[in-house]
Structure 1
């Protein structure tokens, strides 16, 4: 999944277009802090992108991620080739959607993770 951050209180169209360049599918997270975190604390907008902005004005990254997965699932979209195992892992292991249909690679990663006690 591609995630881009932008740090401008008032984003112009040119800035959004530059941030989305080459982005097939993912989240565009707008935050006001100068340094990116794994999950930014001061998020003012999150947009779901599928070659263009599909949904925006979402204030929570987790909700935006859920909406992204919903868009993929409902629209029956193919995962981007470079990220297909990441999305499959999220779908089959994290979200438990048809976990018995996981590929061998995803099933192997799931087993490695389950070996460790959290």
Structure 2
């Protein structure tokens, strides 16, 4: 956790590392190198709680994940989508094009 400004720690029992391991036994929300929530059994719930902590505590997101948070706000949660940066609009359009190709 050293140097971790914001994130999730995912405890899992699995032979191979995966994006979201199948056998998650604990997820913790970390803010400024401190575990603020733990014993969460679902990665999606933990991510939602992380977003809630960011908003409730009015935290500034780390620069390295600035566009990730903007994408979640503007595209996924549709919070003022017309105010998205060109980079986020571009990613949204690429995803939509890809989805249209896959659905054909």
TM-score category (smaller protein): 0.7 to 0.9
Tell whether the 8 Å contact from 1:49 to 1:55 is kept in structure 2 after alignment. no
Tell me which stretches of 4 or more aligned residues in structure 1 moved more than 6 Å. none
Q: What TM-score, normalized by structure 1, do the two folds share?
A: 0.75
**Unaligned segments of structure 2, at least 5 residues:** 99-103
- The total of aligned residue pairs comes to 98
Name the SS of the counterpart of 1:28 in structure 2: strand
- Distance across 2 between alignment mates of 1:34 and 1:87: 31
1:51 deviation in Å? 2.7
SS of the equivalent of 1:105 reads: helix
CA RMSD of aligned residues (A): 1.6
Q: Which has the higher helix share?
A: 2
**1:41-80 correspondence to structure 2 within 5 Å:** 41-47=22-28, 48-80=30-62
Residue 75 (structure 1) shift: 1.6
Unpaired segments of 5 or more residues in structure 1? 1-19
